[in-house]
Structure 1
Amino acid sequence: MEPKMLANPSMDFTNLLEGDLKEEVMKELKKDPEAQTANSPESKLSRISTEASVGEVTKSVNSFQYEAQNLDVPVVVVTSEIHPWSKSGGLAIVAAQYAYNFAIRGHRTMAIAPMYDNYDGAFYQCTKSFELFGGLHEVHYYHHFQNYGEGKGCDYVFIDHPSFRRPGGLYHNLSDNQEYSDNLFRFALFSLAALEVPVAIELGGAPCYGGRVMFIANDWQTGLLPVYMVHRHRAFGNYNHARCMYVIHNLGYQGCYPLRLGLPGTLQYDNFAQLGLPFAALGDLLYQYPLHERTFEGDSGETLNLTKGAIQCCDRIVTVSPTYADEIRTLEGGFRLHDFVATKSYFLVGILNGIDASWAPEKDKTIAETFSAEDLSGKRLCKRHLQRKLGLKEDDDACILSFVGRLTSQKGIDLIGSCVHWIMEDHKDGLSNVQLVMMGNGEEDFGHMLRWAETTWKGRVCGYWGFSPQIEKEIIAGSDFFLMPSRYEPCGIPQMCAMLYGTIPIVHATGGLKDSVKSWYTEPDTSTGFHIWPLNEDSFKKVIFDGLHLFFREPEEFNQMRRRAMAQDFSWSRAIDDYERHFDWTIADPPFWGRP
């Protein structure tokens, strides 16, 4: 069924909300999540949260199991965003975890990111110039050191240039949702400048890192880093002892720019020549769209694809779950680059991300009541608190289904919308005492769907068009099931958090969702959730029905599943052990010298 829209979609959303939620939503709708800076109140809260979670992680340092062979090799994380200084999505959180965990593991560690604003505690180091796009461009380097104790810490390096400082989002203008026209220049400059830091800058007066380092480059914004390393550095005998791991967090975003090759004297029209790369590098960066995807007569389909260049030139490809590593080698999941990934399969690995130790219901002071797998009584109080806060009917016996995520079709919110009437109105063989909570930012049509659902079933549905980290925690703690019908999901973090809080995930069997959730259909004795397969409306309804059956009619089996879910190990120490193995194998292999 198609969700009906409100008669007046522009009506004041705040009238549809009750109690504390109304105030929370108004705060959230005024925020621009991509424009937050280190000086904003939200960032200060993020810093406190980060420090708290770092303190918790320190207690579990000894949980590393793998004996790394190359702890003397420094790690250099290069990322376009890093929590808490800059954030548009999960990349910032993962990059921050790299920076912290590799330092705790024993590596000398550096994290390099653009400087999008003035950052407290970051001190000027030096200035360097780079010839790029027909001009000489000065960048300023700033340094901040975070001390984690016992002689361990991370050097955070921020690269400042006017092109990074924009009033809108990090990568696009939020007012019209258009990518910045100079992004190729911005991130080429960032990659070039980042490669200078280990060998040329003494941070805080300490010795340079040197040329024997492990770079961890993340997503398309750093795709040129391994290309520059191969064609501008290794070609002249530099960085021969360094290695570069390229981490694909989401292959759906690749950094594609129409190729323009100019004649001598017309370099302003030649975006490849302006990158400062030898002509041999063009083969690594060039991607040509097939005929049926070209947009006009005479279109050659030739593009510069930064992700393709990184795949071709890096020493090892890493992605964020084992299943996603398989999917990106297929026509369906490879977003046109599947053949290039498959060709380099020997150097490909999928490592499931972790979550930080602040996600622990037995000691989480941000939820209504702490609880554990041995004593779930606190979860019942969290449910009551959630119902009261979101204006739902207070009912211990009701089953709460929840969704938190971006309001986009990739996350499957349209599939939830098509099933809302069935969830709320169908008798379902008596399994009908159900409440639904949906929260997220994103596309306007889906926001209207949230409003429609809440007004249609007031007291049984909350549609929160906005985002609050605190309410996210409360939703996860107070719900019984967590819905993630994502069409694709490289890793996914919410389903892991949900399991640790005894909230059973219902997920599409894809990517990291498949890897992290053991399905009741295939592994009933060890299951921690439910897989939807194939992903369609009928399958989704069947899985929800089976989950409700377990919740209402087999509560002991449901609680056993809850306890198994809460016992899962999603710690970063597990993930870092896997990274260390691949560090050792990558360092043992010869460096990539370029295509023959």
Structure 2
Amino acid sequence: MAQPDMKMSANPSMDFTSLLEGEDRDKVKEILAEKAQPGEEKSSDCKMQKQMSRISTEASVGTEEEANPCFQYEAVNLDVPVVIVASEIHPWSKSGGLAIVAGQYAYNFAVRGHRTMAIAPMYDDYEGAFYQCTKSFEIFGAHHEVRYFHHYQSYGDGKGCDYVFVDHPSFRRPGGLYHNLSDNQEYSDNLFRFALFSLAALEVPVAIELGGAPCYGGRVMFVANDWQTGLLPVYMVHRHRAFGNYNEARCMYVIHNLGYQGCYPLRLGLPGTKQFDNFAQLGLPFAALGDLLYQYPLHERTFPGDTGETLNLTKGAIQCCDRLLTVSPTYAEEIRSAEGGFRLHDFVNAKSYFLAGILNGIDASWDPVTDDTIASKFSSEKLSGKKVCKRFLQRKLGLQEDEDACIISFVGRLTDQKGVDLIGACVHWLMEDHKDGMSNVQLIMMGNGEEHLGNMLRWAESSWKGRVCGYWGFNPHTEREIIAGSDLFLMPSRYEPCGIPQMCAMKYGTIPLVHATGGLKDSVRSFYTEPETATGFHVWPLNEDSLKKVIFDAMSIYFKQPEEFQKMIERAMVQDFSWPRAIDDYERHFDWTMADPPFWGRP
């Protein structure tokens, strides 16, 4: 496996820092010296996760420059507290992008002016989180005590967020947050774990004085995220509103990826044997069963006597929430289709009047004008620094140092969903085909994931040493350097609810080539349909031949129309992908949701 940060140029006497002046030159030399330290990239996965956590934390909390973010929409319900409920939140827990988004919700709603709370499970001991109280809940045939811990984080000007962590032994596992990393199997008690979490979260606003401050009360806006919180709106409707509680509260349910739904058997055990009734363990009235029940069609049932009856937590949330949101407008349309709805499209369509998609933002640390972590800062008006970033990247990753080469990169999970297999199918063509004289190409691929795709990265690098870097692993700092120094960025995802890397790439003047799906389609204006305002290229339909054609077209502009390519870079870099822009849209739906009556349940 390649160790990118340890690679140096074949010609170490070449000092490209001479391209810079003063402080910038000193900064680059300092970075190179750090990267030359032996064994840096041989850190364990745990160390990499800690590195990732620190960097992402700095990004998600915000900077002094963000103290007064530019919100445009004049919200009318700033007096209503926001309660974010998520199964992970940065910097305390993270398995993917959900943690980053939840952290951004917590920061931006607080800075916006709401009294803000964020609730997550407590997977470990968290420094600065103080014990508040203990409460007991009866589910799964027993009373279970949870402990609540509180951490207040100030963002200045009297604004801040109450972070609340729900502690129970079931959350503390040596493996991943949701599954055992050793065998990649989901924890068998996940239904219990997240049912308990949802019940405990609903208790906080009305029953716990955090740090001695008054309770939030029953007039709040819950923002529940993905299947792990799918039971929260179900419990709200059937256990609270049914008895006159939370009638003034609302719940917005955000789907980050409908491919993960939280499906569990209605009954455990084979037909004809003693069966365990999962629904009966949830402490819900019988009326809630209709909201949670999903029955697989005959052709998808797995054994004789299988009724196909399951509890689907996402279906329950869709049925019971007051407003349904996704992380991009196109994805909101895709989940209404049979192909993109993963069997729940009929229920999504039934809720379509309350459905909308809001494109996620990226935090202010993704800005080449102020980014101290890359080799040289640059802007859309002064792109010379990007050339320095490119030369630095080539030297660091052991690629041939050639500023005329077109660097094409991919950073992401090594899964078929991300289209990595399609990139692999194009590698030989990229490296060996004449392509009308456009053969001066370099390829960088970095990511964690499936072994056969990791082996493809190894094969590509060993076959074209000096032109291909294949790194099976992940380092967030190297990710920034790849994005800053590349010319083209590949994202041929088969589906992508939102996507963040393509937005980061555009901010750094790296032109994205993306499948026309979900947030990729929403954030990238395609050269094929909008040539005068294009910021990238859409791949459609998604297959090997189509991807090759789009790469060829992008390289044609890079090599043969450099002035047009530079205009595309400039357009890409000046776009607004900030979180304040996204939060303005959330505030609009916030106001509309508060104006509507609450969902009382189905007759």
- TM bin (shorter chain): over 0.9
Q: 1:261 to 1:412 in 2, by over 3 A?
A: closer
Distance across 1 between alignment mates of 2:296 and 2:505? 40
Is residue 360 of structure 2 the alignment partner of residue 353 of structure 1? Answer: yes
Cα deviation, residue 45, structure 1: 5.0
Q: Which residue of 2 aligns with 1:30?
A: 45
Q: 1:178 to 1:339 in 2, by over 3 A?
A: same
Q: 1:561 to 1:46 in 2, by over 3 A?
A: closer
Is residue 157 of structure 2 the alignment partner of residue 182 of structure 1? Answer: no
1:230 to 216, 237, 245: 237
Q: Which residue of 1 aligns with 2:201?
A: 194
Q: SS at the partner of 1:455?
A: helix
Q: What are the within-5 Å matches in structure 2 for residues 69-80 of structure 1? A: 69-80=76-87
Cα deviation, residue 575, structure 1: 0.6
Distance across 2 between alignment mates of 1:168 and 1:138? 23
1:505 to 508, 512, 529: 512
State the aligned residue count.
Answer: 573
Contact 2:331 2:497 in 1 (8 A): yes
Q: Which residue of 2 aligns with 1:8?
A: none
Superposed CA offset, 1:329-373 (max 9, x none): 001100000000001100000000000000100110000000000
TM-score (norm 1): 0.94
Distance across 2 between alignment mates of 1:43 and 1:350? 28
Q: Which residue of 2 aligns with 1:424?
A: 431
Q: Which residue of 1 aligns with 2:66?
A: 57
Q: SS at the partner of 2:267?
A: coil
Distance across 2 between alignment mates of 1:44 and 1:507? 29
- The worse-fitting range, judged by mean Cα deviation, of 556-565 and 266-275 is 266-275
Cα deviation, residue 271, structure 1: 0.9
Q: Which residue of 1 aligns with 2:302?
A: 295
Distance across 1 between alignment mates of 2:263 and 2:4? 43
Q: Which residue of 1 aligns with 2:392?
A: 385
Q: 1:367 to 1:327 in 2, by over 3 A?
A: same
Q: 1:288 to 1:32 in 2, by over 3 A?
A: farther
Superposed CA offset, 1:440-495 (max 9, x none): 00000000000000000000000010000000000000000000000000000000
2:458 to 451, 476, 501: 451
Is residue 33 of structure 2 the alignment partner of residue 18 of structure 1? Answer: no
TM-score (norm 2): 0.93
2:169 to 153, 162, 167: 162
Moved over 6 A (4+): none
Contact 1:79 1:221 in 2 (8 A): yes
Is residue 263 of structure 2 the alignment partner of residue 256 of structure 1? Answer: yes
Distance across 2 between alignment mates of 1:475 and 1:41? 17
1:309 to 316, 319, 326: 316
Cα deviation, residue 240, structure 1: 0.2
Provide the alpha-carbon RMSD of the alignment: 1.7
Any gaps of 5 or more consecutive residues in structure 1?
1-11
Is residue 473 of structure 2 the alignment partner of residue 473 of structure 1? Answer: no
Is residue 364 of structure 2 the alignment partner of residue 375 of structure 1? Answer: no
Distance across 1 between alignment mates of 2:112 and 2:105? 10
Q: 1:535 to 1:24 in 2, by over 3 A?
A: farther
Distance across 2 between alignment mates of 1:442 and 1:595? 42
Q: Which residue of 2 aligns with 1:5?
A: none
Q: Which residue of 2 aligns with 1:537?
A: 544
Q: Which residue of 2 aligns with 1:573?
A: 580
Identity of aligned pairs, percent?
Answer: 79
Is residue 149 of structure 2 the alignment partner of residue 142 of structure 1? Answer: yes
Contact 1:261 1:272 in 2 (8 A): no
Q: 1:239 to 1:514 in 2, by over 3 A?
A: same
Q: Which residue of 2 aligns with 1:6?
A: none
Cα deviation, residue 56, structure 1: 3.3
Letter in 1 for 2:529: T
Distance across 2 between alignment mates of 1:23 and 1:383? 23
Letter in 2 for 1:514: K
Any gaps of 5 or more consecutive residues in structure 2?
9-34
Distance across 2 between alignment mates of 1:502 and 1:118? 41
Distance across 1 between alignment mates of 2:65 and 2:209? 31
Distance across 2 between alignment mates of 1:342 and 1:126? 42
Distance across 2 between alignment mates of 1:308 and 1:32? 38
Contact 2:55 2:476 in 1 (8 A): no
Q: Which residue of 1 aligns with 2:253?
A: 246
Distance across 2 between alignment mates of 1:363 and 1:17? 26
Q: 1:229 to 1:268 in 2, by over 3 A?
A: farther
Distance across 2 between alignment mates of 1:49 and 1:464? 24
Distance across 2 between alignment mates of 1:419 and 1:17? 27
Cα deviation, residue 270, structure 1: 1.3
Distance across 2 between alignment mates of 1:347 and 1:338? 14
Distance across 2 between alignment mates of 1:538 and 1:467? 29
Letter in 1 for 2:416: S
